[in-house]
Chains A and B, each alone.
Chain A
Amino acid sequence: MKCARATRELLWLTRFGELGPSSQPHLDHLAGCPHCRDEVGFDRAMVQQLRIALAERIDTAQPSPHAWEVILERAQMPEPRGMDAVLHWSGALVARLRIATAMAGTGLAVLLALNMNVLPVAVPGESASEIEASSLLQVPRIPTDRTALVPYMVQSEASAEPARPDPEAALTNARSRASQRTETVVIESPSAIDTPFQLRVVIRLLQTPDPGQADARYEASEDGGTNSTPPVGTVSGEPS
């Protein structure tokens, strides 16, 4: 008989006092197996501790001496039944529904207010007085500065070199532009982040691959002095 099976069956038999003549193979195994003896012994010790733990729970506690009086009084009172019980439960349900509706309404109002820009929301570059004015007017803020990147576009177009057919040079140039574009937009025009359109552009530019290489290119171009103007115009304003 294998130990796992013997232990499992022995535990079952000893827990419920079902050892009998048919249990002789188990007892034989138990006599020669210290592991199984430990397991069964541990189980018996645990059951003893369990009895103590359960007895601790009730200890010497007794119901209060007034318990009988209370029970007698309650037992002789008329039992709430039928319509009374229905009215009681429906009243409680209506009260809970009222609270739930009020909470849901408040939450919806706050969400709508935030969504319509009625509540003041801090925007980079916007002064406190502007926030206060806009909140007093309670007019949804309409983005008007959609052409914030235009000066860079114009500048880049003015200084852009004519396109060269060499693909390797074009790739190097594109990497350099990517790093320069990122720094230019974030540092020089933070207030331009005003519309979802421009916000997408900035996020895209910040995710430039291989930043180390891009920085190196940027420094090199500054030293050379030939390509220091950020050529944003070549890819700017095109959301991906």
Chain B
Amino acid sequence: MTNPHDGRAAQVPVEARQPDDLVERMQGGDLDAFEEFFNRYQRPIYATALAITRDPFLAEEVLQDCFVKAYRVRERLDPARSPLPWLQRVAINLCYSRVSRRKTLPEPITNLITNLVVDLSARPDQVVESREVLEVLQRGIDALPPKQQTAIILYYLHGYSLAEAAEIADCNVGTMKSRLHYALKALRVRLPVERRIPVGPALRVPE
């Protein structure tokens, strides 16, 4: 039995979570420090925003708002702690306020590209089945409640530990586990049902 932490794609460099004097220098009004701060944390923040909104333009808006806010409240940041959990929390809140205002999610451009450049060397039925499963999962992720969606993005996409994910989501570890459990349960229930639905007219049995 393997630990699910193993083999996890760690998109966030671990050293980015280590605090240093960057925040102190930024608090002193050093714009170079602010630029370094941005370069260090922009990628995980953008990834979170893009994973939630599925819209590159919206994700960039969230990124900008998040770092502008960080600069304005820099005096209140604790230099002894990594600012990343706080940045993630702000980004998540900004994402959900924008997504709820817009009500509908657009068809993501990345999905269209993936459909076009799908591996044609594989067997067509395997390609269709794999693509279908991923589509079902994408829709399932979109349909999850925001807290469960946040939990799986932090835990399975970013590779945060349960404790780190719980700190970002401002809850305890047990709650984080529960959110992950219910998110997976919802996806699991959704998966076999949707797989039985014909994708298009080509799959219908001729009478």
Contacts and interface: CB of A to CB of B under 8 A. Distances in A.
A114 to B, nearest CB: 33
A14 B156 contact: no
A61 B1 contact: no
A59 B187 CA distance: 21
Interface in A51-78: 51-59, 61-64, 67-68, 70-72, 74-75
Contacts, number: 118
A58 B157 contact: yes
Contacts of A16: 4, 162, 177, 180
A70 B38 CA distance: 12
Contacts of B9: 51, 55
Interface in B160-188: 162, 177, 180-181, 184, 187-188
A97 B183 CA distance: 41
Most chain B C-beta atoms within 10 Å of own C-beta, residue among A15, A61, A71 = A71
B108 interface: yes
Interface residues of B, number: 50
B96 to A, nearest CB: 16
A48 B126 CA distance: 16
Interface in B1-19: 1, 3-5, 8-9, 11
B80 interface: no
A71 B67 contact: yes
Interface in B30-78: 31, 34-35, 38-39, 42-43, 46-47, 50-51, 54, 56, 59-60, 63-64, 67-68, 71-72
The 5 tightest CB contacts between A and B, nearest first, are: A17-B3, A75-B71, A54-B157, A53-B137, A57-B51
Interface of B: 1, 3-5, 8-9, 11, 31, 34-35, 38-39, 42-43, 46-47, 50-51, 54, 56, 59-60, 63-64, 67-68, 71-72, 108, 110-111, 113-114, 133-134, 137-138, 141, 152-153, 156-157, 162, 177, 180-181, 184, 187-188, 191
